[in-house]
């Protein structure tokens, strides 16, 4: 069976968020890191290609997004989804509007929606205005974002400033009447020459109704919320297997390890809980800066322990300790020294037979995934909100499958490192 839904996300964690939503809604999903070089398996319903195009120059963002679109078209996708942040992170130059228009042109369509709403996370749209919790986007912390400051909550105005076409609104009065009314309003807006419809949404029922109304649109542009409402269309058309377990992963065995380069508060608690129960090796940035072969020491220390139980390697430290390191080594140098060492340890561990690996920290995960030559991730069962188990997709098909859990710093309960293994079926 061909892939049904092709998604292009403008950053990595946004891609993970979307992929997780699709799996929950019953679509077997993989997330690819950048535009893939090769085709993927045929037991997949949705592919999310994660780019880093949110703040890159507009022309680069367009070129990358079009390359992703071409790959997804070749994979057989019937509908396409451009995923951006639920706070509509962009500037008057883009990149949301220009990328969406380029995708529309390539797909030969003149109409799509723009809906960053994600009510369970407090992102709602009313009369075209985006709210973050109880306040307007323009009154939220996003006003002071270093790269994409959002000083206007009117999505109609914000998007209109970015595009050549015309933006209209499907407001709450229409959305609350359901899919048929929304579809009729799409037609009216198109007759009025509109190319984009900002769609109000206050709750998940609204997202379901908007999703149903979008069944025939070649392109949908949205946050991850609309992912709730799209799978039903494929199911109704008989294009999804009924009652399938979308989060099943191929079996992975092997040894278990955790690598933590996150210094976030949640991770500090998780490291402390793990250290009480299992062996743990501390990575000292000063030793790294000194030129000590910490990686070799860490891998040698592992022997005799990892065969019996999961082991932890951590650079995680208190804010004071991190500040002291950064004061001496510089912020960037400290970061890259630690990331490189943890990535090298991950590589050594896999060579040693580790088949199930948890990584804590966004940047740390990026470094580890790169070192392991991971091209993509098949999304499996969720450990805690926003953190699923995955299996690595690599070009080297002779390799044993590796299960990876990539945890953003502040995610997960204190016992995350202890309980995660139990979620791997």
Residue numbers of the site for ligand ADP (CB under 6 A)?
261-264, 267, 285, 315, 317, 321-322, 325-326, 334-335, 338-339, 361-364, 408-409
* Dist CA 250 CA 380 (whole Å): 9
Q: Compare residues 169 and 334 and give the one whose CB is closer to ligand ADP.
A: 334
Task: Identify which of residues 41 and 319 has a Cβ nearer to ligand ADP in the complex.
Answer: 319
Least gap, CB of 320 to ligand ADP (angstroms): 11
Considering beta carbons, is residue 97 or 409 the nearer one to ligand ADP? 409
What lies within 8 Å, CB to CB, of 275 at 6+ separation is: 312
Nearest in space to 260 (alpha carbons), one of 66, 51, 417, 137: 417
Choose between 79 and 267: whose C-beta lies nearer to ligand ADP. Answer: 267
Collapsing DSSP states into helix, strand and coil, what is residue 416?
A: helix
Residue (332 or 396) nearer to ligand ADP, CB: 332
With residue 236 as reference, give the H or E element that holds it: helix 231-236
β pairing state of 219-222 and 129-132: unpaired
Q: What is the dihedral of CA 396, 397, 399, 404, to 10 degrees?
A: 90
Q: What is the DSSP letter of 45?
A: S
Which CB, 138 or 326, lies closer to ligand ADP?
326
Q: At what angle do helices 331-352 and 319-329 cross, to 10 degrees?
A: 110
Of residues 14 and 335, the one with the C-beta less far from ligand ADP: 335
Residues ≥6 apart with Cβ < 8 Å to 374: 33, 392, 393, 394, 404
| Residue sitting closest to ligand ADP (CB) | 409
Considering the complex, what minimum distance in angstroms separates the CB of residue 341 from ligand ADP?
8
Which element (helix H / strand E) includes 2?
A: none
- In the complex, what is the shortest distance from the CB of residue 149 to ligand ADP, in angstroms, rounded to a whole number? 21
Q: Quick one: 261 or 380, whose CB is closer to ligand ADP?
A: 261
Q: Which is nearer to ligand ADP, 46 or 367 (CB)?
A: 367
* Closer to ligand ADP by Cβ: residue 154 or 364: 364
Do the beta carbons of residue 281 and residue 227 sit within 8 Å?
no
Please check whether residue 11 is in contact with residue 54, taking contact to mean a CB–CB distance below 8 angstroms: yes
What are the DSSP calls for 134-167, one per residue?
TEEGGGSGGGG-SSS-----BHHHHHHTT-SS-E
User: Which segments of 86-230 does DSSP mark as H helices, in order?
Assistant: 96-107, 155-160, 172-175, 179-191, 204-213
Distance of CA 216 to the CA centre of its chain: 25
- Residue 152 CB, shortest distance to ligand ADP, in Å, is 29
> Considering the complex, what minimum distance in angstroms separates the CB of residue 316 from ligand ADP?
6
Minimum gap (Å) between residue 314 Cβ and ligand ADP: 8
Least distance between ligand ADP and beta carbon 147 (Å): 16
Residues 6 or more apart whose CB falls under 8 angstroms from that of 68 comprise 8, 35, 49, 51
Minimum CB–partner distance for residue 155 and ligand ADP (Å) = 29
Q: Is the peptide bond before 95 cis (omega within 30 degrees of 0)?
A: yes
Q: Which helix (H) or strand (E) holds 117?
A: none
Q: Smallest gap, in angstroms, from Cβ of residue 285 to ligand ADP?
A: 5
Shortest Cβ 102–ligand ADP spacing (Å) = 30
For 13, other C-beta atoms within 10 Å of its C-beta total 15
Residue 377 Cβ vs ligand ADP, minimum distance, rounded to whole Å: 17
Give the distance from CA 234 to its chain's centroid. 22
| Closer CB to ligand ADP, 140 or 264, in the complex | 264
Return d(Cα 142, Cα 81) in angstroms, integer.
24
């Amino acid at each position: 069976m061909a892939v049904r839904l092709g998604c292009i996300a403008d950053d990595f964690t946004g891609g993970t968020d979307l992929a997780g939503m699709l799996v929950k809604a019953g679509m077997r999903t993989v997330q690819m890191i950048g535009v893939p070089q090769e085709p993927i398996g045929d037991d997949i319903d949705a592919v999310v290609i994660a780019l880093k195009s949110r703040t890159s120059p507009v022309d680069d963002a367009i070129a990358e997004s079009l390359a992703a679109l071409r790959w997804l078209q070749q994979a057989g996708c019937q509908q396409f989804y451009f995923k951006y942040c639920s706070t509509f992170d962009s500037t008057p130059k883009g990149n949301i509007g220009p990328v969406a228009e380029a995708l529309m042109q390539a797909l030969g369509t003149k109409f799509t929606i723009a809906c960053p709403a994600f009510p369970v996370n407090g992102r709602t749209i009313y009369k075209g205005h985006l709210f973050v919790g109880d306040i307007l986007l323009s009154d939220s912390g996003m006003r002071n974002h270093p790269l994409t400051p959002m000083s206007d909550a009117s999505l109609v105005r914000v998007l209109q400033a970015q595009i050549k076409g015309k933006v209209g609104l499907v407001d709450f009065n229409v959305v609350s009447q359901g899919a048929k009314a929304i579809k009729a309003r799409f037609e009216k807006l198109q007759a009025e020459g509109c190319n984009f419809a900002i769609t109000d949404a206050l709750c998940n029922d609204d997202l379901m109704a908007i999703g149903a109304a979008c069944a025939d649109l070649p392109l949908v542009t949205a946050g991850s919320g609309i992912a709730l409402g799209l799978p039903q269309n494929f199911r109704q058309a008989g294009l999804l297997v009924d009652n399938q377990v979308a989060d099943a992963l191929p079996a992975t065995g092997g040894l278990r390890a955790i690598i933590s380069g996150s210094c976030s508060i949640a991770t500090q608690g998780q490291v402390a809980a793990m250290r009480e129960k299992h062996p743990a090796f501390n990575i000292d940035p000063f030793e790294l800066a000194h030129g000590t072969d910490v990686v070799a020491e860490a891998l040698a220390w592992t022997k005799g322990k990892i065969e019996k139980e999961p082991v932890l390697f951590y650079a995680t430290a208190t804010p004071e300790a991190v500040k002291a390191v950064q004061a001496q080594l510089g912020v960037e140098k400290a970061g890259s020294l630690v990331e490189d060492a943890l990535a090298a340890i991950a590589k050594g561990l896999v060579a040693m037979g580790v088949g199930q690996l948890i990584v804590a920290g966004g940047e740390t995960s990026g470094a580890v995934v790169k070192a392991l030559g991971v091209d993509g991730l098949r999304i499996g069962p969720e450990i805690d909100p926003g953190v699923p188990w995955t299996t690595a997709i690599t070009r080297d098909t002779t390799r044993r499958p590796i299960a990876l859990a990539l945890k953003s710093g502040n995610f997960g309960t204190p016992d995350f490192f202890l309980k995660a293994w139990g979620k791997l079926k």
